[in-house]
Amino acid sequence: MAFNQLVQGSVTATFGEPINISTTIMETCLAQTDELAFLQNGTSMQYMEAARNLETAVNEVDGWAYPGLASTAPTGARGRLRSALEDVFQNFTLSLLAERTSSKTSEDRSLAEGNPC
């Protein structure tokens, strides 16, 4: 249910208005999957033409490795949504172990390998 609360909801588009995002899925790494990449700009089509997204423009100029604050992974760089959903749920399940052991102090740890989406 915790997973569902993050994923479910809607993105609606009405002419002349910015896209209305009523889901937190776009705040997760799933937003960078192939299928959801078209929503990354957060604007409807006429807005994309009228007001270019600065982040996108920066990436186009300097490539996604641009080291500035606006650097982001290119949209659609995280694979297919279907497998990403399965993988992030698996990561969530394993991550519950982190919470159960979080009372222990731990420093100088790096994150797990493998980034599903």
| Complex with other proteins: residue 11 or 58, whichever CB lies closer | 11
Residue 62 Cβ vs other proteins, minimum distance, rounded to whole Å = 23
Contact 117, 29 (CB under 8 A): yes
Residue 51 Cβ vs other proteins, minimum distance, rounded to whole Å = 15
Residues that bind other proteins (CB under 8 A): 1-17, 19-20, 23-25, 27-30, 35-36, 38-39, 44-46, 78, 81-83, 85-86, 88-99, 101-102, 104-117
| Complex with other proteins: residue 45 or 57, whichever CB lies closer | 45
Residue 59 Cβ vs other proteins, minimum distance, rounded to whole Å = 19
| Complex with other proteins: residue 62 or 98, whichever CB lies closer | 98
Distance of CA 115 to the CA centre of its chain: 12
Non-local CB neighbours of 63 within 8 Å, separated by 6+ positions: none
Contact 70, 46 (CB under 8 A): no
Look up residue 114 and give its amino acid: G
Residue 15 Cβ vs other proteins, minimum distance, rounded to whole Å = 4
**CA–CA distance, 46 with 27 (Å, rounded to integer):** 23
**CA–CA distance, 48 with 73 (Å, rounded to integer):** 19
